[in-house]
Chain A
Amino acid sequence: MSLRRSTLLLLVLATAATACRSEEQRAAPPKVEPLPKLASATQADLAHELDQAEERGTWAEVKRRWQGQTLRWTVTRQRVLCQTAEACNVSAFPVQRPAPVGWLPTLRFAPGQFAALESRCAGKDVCEVTIEGKLERLQVSAEQPTNLELTGVKIVGAQG
């Protein structure tokens, strides 16, 4: 009887110790791998990967690779689609037929940078600018249309 009781006690203690270890393991912060920088991260690269995802269903992979990347893209700003800092979408590709994608990236500007955009475009309704920003959100799936949002956007160059 005494032996059985001791065995039972040992078993309980062992189980508790295991549980504690598991708890410690669970509580350990996950190791965060730095996002590998893409060798080439142009809008054409993204469009190409999205085309492949359409065929292969690799939406999650595209999102994992691209979301969080800092991108430097030359885009077209149409004033009617980017009238304020709060409502700004731009064309990622030159206008062409047929349009290679439907999405127009949403821009969230770093402080003062919408004014910089206005200044660079110098009153033109349409102008090309080079921007840099973080791809904060990339919506991709088999069910919903693709769209993306760049934050902390800075104007780094302008043409036309």
Chain B
Amino acid sequence: MNKLYPALGALSVGAALVAGGGDTVTASSHREAPAIAEDQYVDNTDVYAFISPASSDRMVFVANYVPLLLPASGPNYYRFSEDAHYEIHIDNTGDAKEDITYRWEFKNSLKNGNTFLYNTGTIELLNDPDLNVTQTYDLYRINHKTGAKTRIMDDAPVAPWNVGKRSFPSGYEQIALQAVTTKSGISSFAGPRDEPFFVDLHVFDLLGVGGVPTTDGVNVMSLVLEVPITEIAKDGNRPAAGDTSPSSVVGVYASASRPQVRVLRRNRASDDYGNMIQVSRLAWPLINEVIVPLRDKDKFNRSAPADDVKNFGAYILDPEVPKLLNGVLGAGCAPTPAGGRVDIVGLLSPNGTAAADLLRINITANQTNAQSKFPNGRALADDVTDTLLTVACNNGAAIRDNVNQNDKAFTATFPYLASPASGNP
């Protein structure tokens, strides 16, 4: 039984409900708001946080961006945006405000501008001279308590796109894994991976779903970070086993920001000015996607988790999903209690932390990878759609979408996500 969330402990053994002969699913946070749907490269799709399967002293964070990528997407394959900040934020005091931020800043390189080719020959190494278009990144750690900004990695390589078998005759993955960079006990990976979120996106056709795994075979751009737990714990001290104080959990969210002003030039690309403005954020799956209504979705992406209750609390107290489940599928979801869904607020505020859309995970000394299961963090294999639909419906029965696992197996070693689908298998 999960100590943080005892009410959810029974979900894994709950009876399946095929509501009205159909099933219901949603996408985690892919193209979830109007503005971000027009700015694909900074669209944060999913966030994961779990204790490392390799060591219980280490924490793994995964922040995925750029949704639903077709593998054969040349000649300009997907990458991270050079002018954006991609960030993972951690609250280690329970007040829902960031205490530590890891920030990735990317830089593009082009070896030969006289060709349209991404690679001009076969690729045998990550630094192969025939890999024409490349990216590198600097990774920073920002301590908001002290104001210290430390560059952890400098010009670390981004894994290339999996163009196809002709470009990678000796195999893609062994080259992609050369992009794993480890410094001072911190491991980082940036690059394309197989989309780990499994779902039937036909849900958005008036809940018309039937267990079709629509995200199979597509890729996503992943940031994966593994750090010692002492790096993220309050004051650098991992809480003792049994600690139930607000600092016994850390709250995690990812974001992307762009410069406030872009000036398009006639004779060159563009110039950017001004402060960085947050344009995407994500922690729990599906909050902005199906809890926040259309009129406030863009504003959600601009706002901070610490303000979630005062900004969006009413939406959480009475989510729209059960009404839809009842109306379209006759799911028999429970009516909302007079005081609203305070149980959901409770899930968003474990161990006395401030309620907010943060992915919270217990970091006390006894925690292991096996206990990292949504909503105590989120593991790659967690069927969060089933969990959240069941919570939303709140009638004692489990609701399942019949898309129960990813098409590719996750790996036991860093960066844990499966190799991306090939553009030419």
Contact = CB atoms under 8 A, between A and B. Distances in A.
Interface in B339-396: 339-340, 342, 345-346, 349, 354-355
Most chain B C-beta atoms within 10 Å of own C-beta, residue among A101, A102, A106 = A102
B293 interface: yes
A143 B302 contact: yes
B299 A143 contact: yes
B317 A99 contact: yes
Contact of A102 (B292, B323, B349): B292
Contact of B313 (A81, A98, A100): A81
A35 B293 CA distance: 33
A95 B355 contact: no
A11 B315 CA distance: 68
Contacts of A45: none
Interface stretch (B131-139, B304-312, B407-415): B304-312
Given A78-B317, A97-B318, A145-B300, A87 B354 contact: yes
- Which bucket holds chain A's interface residue count? 20 to 34
Contacts of A125: 339, 342
B258 to A, nearest CB: 13
B314 interface: yes
Interface in A50-91: 54, 76, 78-81, 87, 89, 91
A102 B312 contact: yes
Contacts of A103: 310-314
A98 B293 contact: yes
Given A80-B342, A95-B336, A102 B303 contact: no
16 contacts: A54-B295, A80-B345, A80-B346, A91-B313, A94-B338, A95-B318, A95-B338, A95-B339, A99-B293, A102-B311, A103-B314, A126-B337, A145-B300, A145-B311, A145-B312, A147-B310
Interface of B: 292-293, 295-296, 299-300, 302-303, 307, 309-315, 317-318, 320, 323, 336-340, 342, 345-346, 349, 354-355
Interface of A: 54, 76, 78-81, 87, 89, 91-106, 125-126, 143-147
